[in-house]
Amino acid sequence: MAKAVKADDPIFDLRMNRSAPDLWPMLEALYGRHPGYEAFRLALAAMLKTAWKERPNDLKHLDLQRDLEPDWFLRPEMAGYVFYIDRFAGRLTDVLDRLDYLEELGITYVHFMPCLKPRPGDSDGGYSVMDYGAINPAYGTMADFKAVAAELRRRGISVCVDMVLNHTAKEHDWAERAKGGDPAYQDYYLMFDSPALPEAYERTLVEVFPDNAPGNFTHYPEIGKWVWTTFNEHQWDLNWANPQVFLEIARIMLNLANQGAQVLRLDAVAFMWKRMGTRCQSEPEVHMILQALRACCRIAAPAVIHLEEAIVAPQEMLPYLGRGRHDGKEGNLAYHNSLMVQFWSALATRDTRLMTHVLGRHFPDRLTNATYATYIRCHDDIGWAVTDEDAGALHISGPAHRAFLSEFYEGGFPGSFAQGVLFQVNEATGDKRISGSFASLAGLEKANSPEAEDLAVQRLLMGHALIAGFGGIPLIYMGDELAMLNDMTYLSVPEHAHDSRWVHRPKMDWALAETRHGGETPAARVFAGLRAILARRRATPALHGAVPTQVLDTGNATVFAFRRAAPVEGLVCLFNFSEGWQHIPGDWLRGAGVVEFHDALSDRPVQLHGDNLALPPYGRVWLR
C-alpha cells in the first residue's frame, strides 16, 4: 500500500520551484497587461496548492514514481486502445468486465473517448461538453470513473480522457450565464455586437465542416450577438485572451487528474488563439498556453502527461511536442497524422517514395520528453494531408494525388481494394475526406476470394507492425484488432446519419471476439497477429521512444524502411507495400547497419536468398 504523503509536504514547493520558470513567464507574456493579472496570478497559485492538497495519496505516490521514472510513457511496453465506453462495454463499470480482454491483447493505456457530460442530441461525438465536472450520465458518474480508473491503475493501465480546450457546448453553465447578459461570462467567449468583425475575420478562416456547419460564426438574434463557432453552431469558442478562462480550464484539468486521469487529450488546441488576418490556427500564443498548462500539471499532478490533438501539417505539428523555447516543456504526445496519411497513400500507390520523403525530411529522429501517438485509424475521418510542395518534390500533382486517394478509398477507382465512405467535400479546394474502418479500407470488405482476404489481413498486420515499430505509443482503435468492417447502421440513427464517421464507430462485436482463439478467420488471424506484434514490441528495447528513428531509402520504391538507432541491438525495419514479392540486397542491409539476420518481430532467423532478403506480399521485418 502506498505510503501517505502529507498535504503540507515540501514536495509541492520543490515542484513549484522546478516548474515556475515554465509557467510564470508564459502567463506574463499572455496576460501581463490584463488589469486583473495580479489577482489571477494569486488565484492560480492558490488553486494549484489546493489541487495538490486534495490529490489522493495513491496518486501522489504515482507522482513520485513518475518523477523518478520520467520515461515511463516512452517504454516499449506502452500500447494503447481507444474506444467509446458505451460501444465497447455499455457503462463505465462494465469496462471492468473487459479488462482481461485488454490485458490479453497487451494494452497498457486506454483512451475513453469523450466521456464528460455532453449537450443533448448532436454533440459532435461527445466533443460538445456542457459540464466538465460530470461524466456522461449514459456512462455513469464521476464516482464510477474514479473507481474504474483506480482498478485500471492497479493493473498498470493508464487512462486517457478528452479535455476540449477550444470550445464548450452552448448549453454549458458559462454560456448560459453569457446568454443571460452577464458581461463577465460573455468575456469567456468571443461574442460580437455586429457582423463587422466576424466578416473581417472570416476572410482568412478555413471552414472545418463546410457541409453541415458552414462559416465560423453564428448570429443569435435573441441575445443580439454574433458568436465564434469554429466547428458547429452548438460549440462556442472560448476567449483564451481572458486569464479567467485559463484559470477555469487549469482547475478542471487538475480535478480530472485527481479523479485518476493519467493522460489528458487536449482537443482542438490549434484553434485556441485568434488573430485578425490569419487562419487563427497554431498562433504562437497557443504554445505559450499549452506550456503553461503543462507546467500546472507538473506542479500539482506530475504523473499526468498531455496528448495534444493537432491534425495539421508537419511543420505545424512538431511545435506541439515542443520546439525552440518550448522544447521539452509542452506536449508529451501528439498524433503522427503524417505517418497515418502516408501509410494509406503508399498502400494505394504501392509506392513509398512520398512516404520516405515526407517522414524523412520533415520529422526529427528524436524528441525531448515527448513522442508520437502512432495510429492507422481513429474515430475521425482521413483528410489527405499531402502538401503540394511535398507532392511536387516527387513530380506529382498535389490536387490530383489527393483526388486519387479519395476516389481509391471511397472504392470507386478501378481496381481499388478499399471500401470507404465520403465524409466532406471542400468545394473551394476540391479536397474530399474519407471515413471507413481499417479492415474495410484495407480490402477485407470487398475481398471475394481467399487470396484477396489473405492480402487484406496482411495489410492489417503490416500496418500494426509499422505503428508498433516506428516510435511512440501505438494506438489501436476498437475493433481493428478483430478486423471489424464498416457499420452502415449509423444511417438509421437520426443524430448520426449526417456524419459518416459513425461508419467506423461500431458497437463492439463481442460474439466475434469470442472466436479470436485459434481458427483461420480474419478476426482470429488479426487478433493473434496483433497480440504477437505487441508482445515482441515489449521484448525489444530498441523500440523505446527515446531511440532515434531514421528513415532510410531502400532504392526499392515499394519498400519503406527505417532504422531504430539504439546504441546496442538496434533495428532496421522494412515493410513491403505491395502484393508482390520484393527483394532487398544484403549489401544494402549491411550498409544500413544489420549485423545479425534475426527478425525481432517474429523472433526467428532470416535466410538470405542469393544475398537478397525476400519480402512476401505486405511482408515486414525488424532486423537486428
- pLDDT tens column, 471-492: 999 999 999 999 999 999 999 9
**Domain assignment present for 393:** no
Contact 92, 139 (CB under 8 A): yes
**Domain assignment present for 531:** no
Query: Span 239-254, mean pLDDT?
Result: 98
Look at residue 3 in the predicted model and tell me its pLDDT: 46
Which among 417, 466, 422, 424 has a CA at the least distance from the CA of 444? Answer: 417
Q: How confident is the model at residue 277 (pLDDT cuts 50, 70, 90)?
A: very high
User: Are 192 and 252 contained in the same domain?
Assistant: no
Distance of CA 331 to the CA centre of its chain: 12
User: Are 179 and 221 contained in the same domain?
Assistant: yes
Tell me what percent of the residues of the chain surpass a pLDDT of 70: 99
Distance of CA 102 to the CA centre of its chain: 19
User: Are 180 and 270 contained in the same domain?
Assistant: no
**Domain assignment present for 378:** no
**Domain assignment present for 530:** no
Out of 63, 162, 267, 453, which one is annotated catalytic?
267
State which of 216, 237, 258 marks the end of a domain: 237
What are the phi and psi torsion angles at 582 (to 5°)? -130, 155
User: Are 43 and 121 contained in the same domain?
Assistant: yes
Q: For the chain, what is the domain count?
A: 3
| Confidence (pTM) | 0.94
Look at residue 7 in the predicted model and tell me its pLDDT: 46
| Cα gap 27→39, rounded to integer Å | 13
**Domain assignment present for 77:** no
Give the domain extent around 249: 1-72+117-144+156-165+243-334
Which pairs with CB-CB distance under 8 Å and at least 24 residues apart come from 133-142? Answer: 133/252, 133/255, 135/92, 136/85, 138/86, 138/91, 139/85, 139/86, 139/91, 139/92, 139/115, 140/91, 140/92, 140/93, 141/92, 142/259
State which of 184, 204, 237 marks the end of a domain: 237
Query: What are 372's strand-pairing partners?
Result: 334
Q: What is the pLDDT of residues 298-335, one digit of tens each?
A: 999 999 999 999 877 788 889 999 989 999 999 999 99
User: Are 257 and 188 contained in the same domain?
Assistant: no
State which of 290, 306, 334 marks the end of a domain: 334
Known active-site residue 267: yes
Residue 570: strand, helix, or coil? coil
Model confidence at 5: pLDDT above 70: no
Q: How confident is the model at residue 2 (pLDDT cuts 50, 70, 90)?
A: very low
Out of 308, 309, 410, 453, which one is annotated catalytic?
309
Tell me what percent of the residues of the chain surpass a pLDDT of 90: 92
Q: What is the pLDDT of residues 101-146, one digit of tens each?
A: 999 999 999 999 999 999 998 898 899 999 999 999 999 999 999 9
User: Are 231 and 211 contained in the same domain?
Assistant: yes
User: Are 299 and 186 contained in the same domain?
Assistant: no
Known active-site residue 389: no
Contact 572, 616 (CB under 8 A): no
Quote the longest CA-to-CA distance of the chain.
79
Interhelix angle 450-470/337-349, nearest 10 degrees: 150
